[in-house]
Structure 1
Amino acid sequence: MSALIGDKGYDGDGFRAEIVDRGAKPVIPNKSNRVTLHSFSKRAYKGRNVIERCFCRLKDFRRVATRYDKLARNFLAAVHLAAIVAYWIN
């Protein structure tokens, strides 16, 4: 089963229903002012941090952050090169 991981900004009943209709499980924490609480997997939500750090690391490269490339294939190539350089240094 696939899951969609989001932050508290996506905690809406309509959005949650759309996710379920498309066959995925919403992994979204509840807002503090929510009346009806929904359960979510805290373990799965912790994986969101890894994705956020990856995007932050890729945006250190100006070419990726500002999308200089007009073609999607060139942009994807720039993302691949940035990923190689970013994780090669580590």
Structure 2
Amino acid sequence: MHLACDERGRPLSIVLTPGQAGDAPRFDEVMAGIRCRTRSGRIRTRPDRVLADKAYDSRAIRGHLRRRGITATIPQAADRVRNRLAKGSRGGRPPAFDPNAHRGRNTVERCINRLKQWRSLATRYDKTAHSYLAALTIPSLMIWLPTE
């Protein structure tokens, strides 16, 4: 499961994949699934900033975000740092990274934990992806509902 959530931990986009699938190849699908209505009623499909972990550190992802005008807060993977430094001055400048902004990345982990409080999701009782996605939609909607 690949998930995008807002700063309050509410799911915006969910893409189901096999358990052994990598994170980075599904990034475009997750980003394409984001639909959020603003106070003015306009639907937004582009966040202001993306906070991600090292699994999403790739040229393709950074280029995709740059083309869409989205600020990326993604730490560099150790192998990419090592390769850039090995090239010396031809290695270029490291991408910008804001460690204070990156502290908010755990919001998506907390969102996953809230979803997995539903026992059927945590143990994956559902046999098919369609039924699992349906079961995942219910707690996602419950998170979005006001609790007051």
TM-score with structure 1 length normalisation?
0.68
5+ residue gaps, structure 1, are none
Cα gap change, 1:75 to 1:50, in 2 (>3 Å): closer
Higher normalized helix content (fraction of residues): 1
Aligned residue pairs, count: 84
1:24 is the counterpart of 2:70: yes
Q: CA RMSD in A?
A: 3.0
Amino acid at match of 1:17: G
Percent same amino acid at aligned positions?
Answer: 27
TM-score with structure 2 length normalisation?
0.45
5+ residue gaps, structure 2, are 1-46, 85-92
Moved over 2 A (4+): 62-70, 72-81
Amino acid at match of 1:42: P
Q: How does 1:1-90 map to 2 (within 5 A)?
A: 2-33=48-79, 34=81, 35=84, 36-65=93-122, 66=124, 70=131, 75-81=136-142, 83=143
1:6-25 CA-partner distances (Å, limit 9, x unpaired) = 11011111210111111201
